[in-house]
Every structure is written in C-alpha cells, then in structure tokens.
Amino acid sequence: DHAPETATAAASGANATARFATDKSAAAAATPPERVSLLAREVLAAVHKAVHDHKVTYDEYNALKSWLINVGQDGEWPLFLDVWVEHAVEEVAGETRDGSKGTIEGPYYVPAAPELGHDAVLPMRDGEHGTPLLFQGQVTDVAGQPLLGAVLEIWHADDDGFYSQFAPGIPEWNLRGTVTADENGHFQIRTMQPAPYQIPTDGACGKLISAAGWHPWRPAHLHLKVAAPGYQQITTQLYFPGDKYNDNDVADAVKPELILDPHDVDGGREVTYDFVLDKV
C-alpha cells in the first residue's frame, strides 16, 4: 500500500501555509482602508450577534480562543479557510461568467507542474493504485470556437486520498501536470481515479469536526485550472457520480454541473468533459 504512515495535520498544514505565503499572500496588500473597515466591522458584528443571541459563556469564549490558537499552531489556516469560507467567495466570483462553472481551489494547488503536451499521462508511481481513468475534452469560447493552445493544470489525490507535496513519501509531482490543448482545443489525460479526501483529523480542523459531530470528508475530485490567452481562467473541480459525499461535501464545493458521466471501458473508465471560457 502507498498510504503514508505519517500524514499529519501539522505537516500538511505547514506545507499549505508555506505554499500560500509563496504564491498568494502579496495579493492581499491592495485592499483599501474603507473596505477593510467595512468588512472587519461586519464580520465582528456577526460574531457579537452570535455571542448575544446564544449567550456565549466565558468557558465557551476560552474554548474558541484556544481552538483559534491551535489552528495557527497546526498551520491549518489555509485548510480552515478553503474548507469553510472559500465556497462563498467563489460563488460571488463566478456570478458574472457565462462559461463553465468553477468551484474552489482548495489548499493543495502547486504552480508549474510538468508540461505533458495534449496527450498526457500524469506522473505516477510504478503500480500506482486505483482505477485507470482517461479524461478528455475540448476547450472552447462561449460560441463553441476551439481555443487552440488552451492550458489545463490538473492536480488530484491518489487512491488513498493523499496529495503529493502535502503528504509525505509521495514523489514531488505525482498526479500533477500541465496539459496544452491541440490545434482543435482537444486534450487527453490518463490518470488514476482519486479516492474521497478526508481532511486531517488530528489537527484543529479535525477537532472542530469531531466536537461538532460533523464528518471530515470531501467526495473524490479532480482539480483543474483552465486558461487561454485573452480568456478568463477558471478554477474548478470535477466529481464522480454516486460518491456518497457529493451531497454533503465538508467544503460545500459540489455543483451539479461538475459531476462527470464516466463509462466503463476495458481496463478502466473514460469520460469526456468540455470547458467553455469567457473573454477577459
């Protein structure tokens, strides 16, 4: 079995925190003070309202304080935010687009995965576990014109539900790649179908889940970013029919348009899914 013995919340959290600091933390600097003040006031007012409405005690306040300190110590701010907040931000961001639906990015994207051409096999280990999956499709504009040279970045968990670069013992680029569509906007990607993903249960996020009596699962999913020059990049995830977590994803990121329709073939499964991009 490939399952890493020592996948801990603190280790994957530290990796996700470092990844965010490298790729995205600079984007936050441009928020003007009026906007910061408005949003900070309203979020705090919502907290104050919950305290008053539910007569929150000092013991509960201290439990919250202790838990928030642990989220930081476990490096789980990226996980917490992407699981419980990002879906609302994505819904707002997607409101004005006509093309394919997107959904949240989550904490495990890594830029600049190996370039694999338009007929791609994702990097995988000898004997990589799981059901072989051929994922293919076309990238077009909203009028159906192929977008030649569209670029798809794909990343997903393995058959044990672990992501390379965030769980130990997995080769660096395992099940991650950059795929460039051909002159007709077509692409083909061979991979292994991922398993459902369980958010770490041994860190602060896991503690919230068990204290609240929730479950820690996301349905199995492929992550993608699809881009073409002059078009808006979409960030999305695709899901598999019949997954027991499609209706109760802990991260609330499933949309009906994102559920694939694969069929069984000799030695695995095949599915076609097309992407439609909006102009910038």
Q: Three-state SS for 113?
A: coil
The residue (of 155 and 231) whose beta carbon lies closer to Fe ion is 155
Q: How far is the CB of 161 from Fe ion (least distance, A)?
A: 9
Cα 3 to Cα 53, 157, 208, 266: the distances in Å are 45, 12, 25, 27
Beta bridge partners of 32: none
Pairing of strands 221-227, 217-218: unpaired
Secondary structure (DSSP) of 205-244: HHHHHHHHT---EE--EEEEEEE-TTB--EEEEEE-TT-T
Q: Which residues bind ligand MBD (CB under 6 A)?
A: 79, 82-83, 104, 106-108, 197, 199, 218, 251, 253
Interface with Fe ion, residue 106, by CB under 5 A: yes
Q: Token pair for residue 218? A: 């996301």
Total binding residues toward Fe ion, as defined by CB under 5 A: 1
d(Cα 151, Cα 117) in Å, to the nearest integer? Answer: 9
Smallest distance, Å, CB 176 to ligand MBD? 13
Please identify, using beta-carbon distances, which residue of 228 and 234 lies nearer to Fe ion. Answer: 234
The answer to whether residues 133 and 272 touch, using CB atoms and an 8 Å cutoff, is no
Q: Which residue's CB atom is positioned nearest to ligand MBD? A: 106
Minimal distance, residue 233 CB to ligand MBD, in Å = 17
Which is closer to ligand MBD, CB of 51 or CB of 81?
81
Nearer to ligand MBD, 107 or 123 (CB): 107
The item of Fe ion, ligand MBD, none sharing an interface with residue 82, based on CB under 5 to 8 Å by kind, is ligand MBD
* Residue among 9 and 253 whose Cβ is closer to ligand MBD: 253
DSSP 259: B
Residue whose beta carbon is closest to Fe ion? 106
Closer CB to ligand MBD, residue 7 or residue 104?
104
| Shortest Cβ 79–ligand MBD spacing (Å) | 6
Q: Measured from the CB of residue 107, what is the shortest distance to ligand MBD in angstroms?
A: 6
Cα 5 to the center of its chain, rounded Å: 23
Report the partner that residue 107 touches, choosing among Fe ion, ligand MBD, none (CB closer than 5 to 8 A by kind).
ligand MBD
- Give the one entry of ligand MBD, Fe ion, none that residue 7 binds, where binding means its C-beta sits below a cut-off of 5 to 8 angstroms depending on kind: none
Taking contact as CB under 5 A, which single stretch among the options 53-61, 102-110, 135-143, 185-193 is the one that binds Fe ion?
102-110
Provide the strand spans (E) within 129-220.
132-141, 151-156, 176-180, 186-192, 197-198, 217-218
How far is residue 47 from each of residues 53, 60, 183, 197, measured CA to CA in Å? 10, 13, 53, 30
Give me the residues paired with residue 153 across strands. Answer: 178, 225
- Which one-letter DSSP state was computed for residue 105? -
The window from 103-111, 139-147, 250-258, 266-274 that contacts Fe ion (CB under 5 A) reads: 103-111
In the bound complex, what is the minimum distance in angstroms from residue 152's beta carbon to Fe ion? 16
Least distance CB 250 / ligand MBD (angstroms): 8
Binding site for Fe ion (CB under 5 A): 106
